[in-house]
Structure 1
Amino acid sequence: MTLATEAPATTPTLDAVRGRGALRAVVSRGIRGLSLRGADGRWTGLDTDIARAVAAAAVGDPEAVEWLPSDPADRLEPLSAGTAELTVANVTWTMGRDTGGPVLFTGVTCYDGEGFLVRDDSGIEHPEQLDGHRVAVQSGTTSAANLAAWYGSRGLSVTPVEFPTPAATLAGYASGACTAYVLDRTALAGERASLPDPQAHRILGTAISREPMAAAVRADDPHWFRLVRWVQNLLVAAEYQVDEAGPGRREEALAEAALLAGRHGPALGLDTAWAARVLAATGTYADVYERNLGAASGLGVPRGLNELWTRGGLHYAVPLH
């Protein structure tokens, strides 16, 4: 049975965003590849592209975003306080966070795992070799708990040294005060690239946790939750459409994806051109990843689990029909 929606969905959040003329999005204070403010003042990264996709759908302009850089410990607080409509700040989706406050996670933006940045001349090849060493940690993240769980289960231990911001954590590691820097491996690629001599450092191949980074919204507006969730899903579904269409049919596939998703716009409180705007602004998930984390970004982070399920990854496209 098909359910028809004659009137646009009511969503106070969407009304507020349109009335302001901009989406308020919480991002990190600066991690290359995820959310970083350039010298020209423009924010770039995978997380910021997700925010632009939402703004393109909701406001009609992907650049209509008020960026709210936040420390790791405070990334969800603006949602609870009503001072932001979206958090895309490399936040790991956990049960504790999902049940600990009035927020909902709309979907995974990047599948990751915590790893270690070490000096290339340290001789350290495996996490076990860090037993007894000091490790730089961003406060407000899951890192300290992950370290305790991973090392404790092996009868080993490290000393986590917490710093308040990404910049302070990287500086603490770079100063030599800590032997390693623990963070999501995707984020570490950006942190490594910002060091004066990136080649003097490397990321260990072993991940010690599962870190599904996800976008989040307030829990009091189910229509806004649904809108953001479908913007995210559109990016993955459009990539699948392009893959299925085959070489030389990209534009045709994108147009089909925009048409399939666009007709559901009124049920989301949007017009029927919302999906076309999103894809014109950001491209597919593959485009977003390649631009910010792939070879084109200079970071060269392999997609791995962030591939489509058809290529052995975890991103699964929910049908647009």
Structure 2
Amino acid sequence: MNAARGGSTLAAVRARGALRAVVSRGVPGLSACSARGVWSGLDTDVARAVAAAALGDGEAVEWVPADPADRLRVLAAGGAELTVANTTWAMGREAAWPVLFAAVTCYDGEGFLVRTADGITGPAALAGREVAVQAGTTSAANLAAWYGPRGLAVRVREYPTPAAALAGYAGGGCAALVLDRVALAGQRALLPVPGGHTVLPETVSREPMAAAVREDDPGWLRLCRWVVNLLLAAEHEVAQAGPGDGNRAAALERVAGAAGRHGPAVGLDARWAARVLAAVGTYADVYERALGPASGLDVPRGLNELWTGGGLHYPVPLH
């Protein structure tokens, strides 16, 4: 393997025998820990994919739960090699922290969870009311940007963690919980009677959630970027191959071969892509497990479809 091209971060991860990944403190569908200590969700599967590529074992991950305000702070300080914690890729964040975003993992937008019985049909109906947000996120700024030009305002109450924000809303003190709409689906599922609450259809911001790394190692940035892209490319290849287990297997083998031949140039071996796909499958597989009907959340793919299905995910060629 070409360890020099792979960079010092890859060497450190291998020396430790585990990838340290910053995740949220509990957002079902993205990164949440079960009572048995098992982490699951779209973000956690991205971390497993990186671990499979770098270490040959998708379970070789040390999870580092962090509050929203600390997601990039821990990474920048050297406490982790990867942040996958429903963190929006924003210029302000790359300008403020010595980090770079490697790839978009989920396209989303700021939304509102409200009590169905309140009859709130859109964001304007919340004007003058108190809403719960997580501190350290872009929510407060997004709300000001949407309400301000309309001559409206909401009263923002910040909470330090997802659980605290949900409790603030569930207790009746806040008229809405404001968070990315994909994350809201998971938060809604945690309420005693999920059916009594509605995620409004409107989005009031653009939230491309992305994996982040420190800016000091372009080799590690390259590795993480291509791991995420591999998941998307594999979904496209499987879709093009048509139905049937045989067609799927052949498609995955083609993708793994195309990406694998470039492994030595990025500090990996020729089997890295095959390991990733064996560990987590394609992006469609990851999404289905984390957010699709099988998860119980049933969040439509929407913008997270491939471009061929009307979404925004467009895999970069592997050749």
Q: Compute the displacement of 1:78 (Å).
A: 1.4
Q: Counterpart of 2:93?
A: 97
Q: Counterpart of 1:231?
A: 227
Q: Counterpart of 2:259?
A: 261
Q: Counterpart of 2:26?
A: 30
1:303 aligns with 2:301: yes
Distance 1:9 1:246 in 2: 37
1:72 to 65, 68, 71: 68
Q: Compute the displacement of 1:101 (Å).
A: 1.3
Aligned residue runs from structure 1 range 170-189, under 5 A = 170-189=166-185
| 1:168-210 residue CA offsets vs partner (Å, 9 max, x unmatched) | 0000000001000000000000000001110011100100111
Q: Compute the displacement of 1:165 (Å).
A: 0.4
Q: Counterpart of 1:280?
A: 278
Q: Assess if the C-alpha contact under 8 Å between 1:8 and 1:267 holds in 2.
A: no
Q: Counterpart of 2:146?
A: 150
SS at match of 2:150: coil
Distance 2:243 2:28 in 1: 31
1:291 aligns with 2:277: no
Distance 1:131 1:78 in 2: 35
Q: Counterpart of 1:48?
A: 44
Q: Compute the displacement of 1:8 (Å).
A: 5.8
Q: Counterpart of 1:123?
A: 119
1:206 to 202, 205, 209: 202
Q: Assess if the C-alpha contact under 8 Å between 1:8 and 1:270 holds in 2.
A: no
Distance 1:106 1:18 in 2: 20
Gaps of at least 5 residues in structure 1 are none
Change (3 A) 1:200 1:31: same
Which amino acid in 1 is paired with 2:84? V
RMSD: 1.1
Gaps of at least 5 residues in structure 2 are none
Q: Compute the displacement of 1:10 (Å).
A: 4.1
Q: Assess if the C-alpha contact under 8 Å between 2:30 and 2:86 holds in 1.
A: yes
Change (3 A) 1:121 1:83: same
Q: Counterpart of 1:245?
A: 241
Q: Compute the displacement of 1:20 (Å).
A: 0.2
SS at match of 1:24: strand
Change (3 A) 1:85 1:6: closer
Which amino acid in 1 is paired with 2:236? Y
TM-score between the two structures when normalised by the length of structure 1 = 0.97
Distance 2:216 2:285 in 1: 32
Q: Compute the displacement of 1:247 (Å).
A: 1.5
1:192 aligns with 2:188: yes
Distance 1:200 1:55 in 2: 39
Q: Assess if the C-alpha contact under 8 Å between 1:139 and 1:164 holds in 2.
A: yes
1:109 aligns with 2:89: no
Which amino acid in 1 is paired with 2:77? A
1:221 aligns with 2:217: yes
Q: Compute the displacement of 1:27 (Å).
A: 0.1
Change (3 A) 1:259 1:137: same
Distance 1:269 1:292 in 2: 30
TM-score between the two structures when normalised by the length of structure 2 = 0.98
Change (3 A) 1:148 1:268: same
| 1:64-97 residue CA offsets vs partner (Å, 9 max, x unmatched) | 0000000000100111111100000000001100
Aligned length: 317
Q: Compute the displacement of 1:100 (Å).
A: 1.2
Distance 2:111 2:299 in 1: 13
Distance 1:93 1:139 in 2: 17
Which amino acid in 2 is paired with 1:298? G
Q: Assess if the C-alpha contact under 8 Å between 1:135 and 1:179 holds in 2.
A: yes
Q: Compute the displacement of 1:246 (Å).
A: 1.3
SS at match of 2:5: coil
Distance 2:237 2:63 in 1: 31
Which amino acid in 2 is paired with 1:71? D
